C-alpha cells in the first residue's frame, strides 16, 4: 500500500536560539512533519533536547511532531513526550527491555508508535511487532550526530521493509533518516520510502522551500519509477 510522500525536517540542524521561528518557517516552506531528535549521551554519544523543548515548540507546529527517542532506557520518557505534544514516538529495540510493552505504553497515551532500526539492526526485530506499528524508521546513518553521509547499503534494507509492510496491507509509514539530500532522494523513494527526514539538507540550505521542493520532487520521481516497475512485473 503506497501512502503519500512526506518530508520531515529535523530540528537537530535548526538554529536552537530561535526554534519556534524555525518550526514555523519550515512548515510554511512545505514540511509535512517536524522531526524531533532526542539523544541522551548514553544510548548515543550526544545530548540534545527533552520534553520541555517539545512542549515549547508545540504551539508553533501546525503539523505532527515526530519524536525519535535515542535514549536508554526509554519507557520513562514516553509519558512525558506524549504530554508534551508528540504525535508519533519512535524508539530503538535495543533501548527497550520489552519492545511489545513499550509499544503498548506509547499507544496507551493515544500516540502513534514507531520502531527504529539502525543500519546494522536485523529485520527480524519486526517479526512479531509489525502489526502494532504505525511507522518503521530506518536509519541511513549511525545515530548520534547530524550531517553524516548516507549509507548506501541501507537501500536494499528499505526495499525489504517495504515488502514486509505491503504484505500486511496496512498503512504503515516507512521513514528514512540520515544523509537524505536531493541527490539521493530519488533512490530512497524508488526503494519504497514514503517519509524522508532531512536535517542539514533543509536547515543548511539558503531557502527552505526550495530545499524541501527539490527533495520532494526527487523522491516522487523515484516512487513513480518504482510504481512503473511494479506495474510492468504484474502485467
CB neighbours (10 Å) of residue 46? 15
- Burial (0-12, 13-18, 19+ Cβ within 10 Å), 4: exposed
DSSP state of 217: H
Is 75 one of the catalytic residues? Answer: no
Q: How far apart are CA 162 and CA 141, in angstroms?
A: 19
Give the separation between CA 21 and CA 11, rounded to whole angstroms: 11
Residues 28/213, Cβ–Cβ less than 8 Å: no
Distance, first Cα to last Cα, the chain: 18
What span, in angstroms and rounded, lies between the C-alpha atoms of 185 and 25? 22
Catalytic residue among 37, 66, 134, 194: 37
Residues 40, 134, 177, 194: which is the catalytic one? 177
Q: Cβ–Cβ contacts within 10 Å for residue 209, how many?
A: 15
Catalytic: 15?
Answer: no
Any idea which residues carry the catalytic annotation? 37, 177
Amino acid at each position: 500500500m503506497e501512502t503519500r510522500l512526506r518530508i520531515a525536517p529535523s530540528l537537530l540542524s535548526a538554529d536552537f536560539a530561535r526554534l519556534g521561528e524555525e518550526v514555523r518557517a519550515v512548515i510554511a516552506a512545505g514540511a509535512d512533519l517536524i522531526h524531533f531528535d532526542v539523544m541522551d549521551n548514553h544510548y548515543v554519544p550526544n545530548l540534545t533536547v527533552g520534553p520541555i523543548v517539545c512542549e515549547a515548540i508545540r504551539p508553533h507546529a501546525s503539523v505532527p511532531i515526530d519524536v525519535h527517542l535515542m535514549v536508554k532506557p526509554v519507557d520513562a520518557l514516553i509519558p512525558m513526550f506524549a504530554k508534551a505534544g508528540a504525535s508519533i514516538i519512535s524508539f530503538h529495540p535495543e533501548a527497550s527491555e520489552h519492545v511489545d510493552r513499550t509499544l503498548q505504553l506509547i499507544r496507551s497515551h493515544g500516540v502513534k508508535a514507531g520502531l527504529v532500526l539502525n543500519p546494522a539492526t536485523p529485520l527480524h526485530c519486526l517479526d512479531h511487532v509489525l502489526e502494532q506499528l504505525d511507522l518503521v524508521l530506518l536509519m541511513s546513518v549511525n545515530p548520534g550526530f547530524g550531517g553524516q553521509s548516507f549509507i548506501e547499503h541501507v537501500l536494499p534494507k528499505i526495499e525489504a521493509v517495504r515488502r514486509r509492510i505491503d504484505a500486511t496491507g496496512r498503512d504503515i509509514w516507512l521513514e528514512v533518516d540520515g544523509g537524505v539530500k536531493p541527490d539521493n532522494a530519488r533512490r530512497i523513494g524508488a526503494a519504497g520510502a514514503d517519509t524522508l527526514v532531512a536535517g542539514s539538507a533543509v536547515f543548511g540550505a539558503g531557502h527552505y522551500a526550495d530545499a524541501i521542493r527539490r527533495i520532494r520532487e526527487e523522491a516522487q520521481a523515484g516512487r513513480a519509477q518504482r510504481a512503473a516497475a511494479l506495474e510492468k512485473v504484474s502485467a
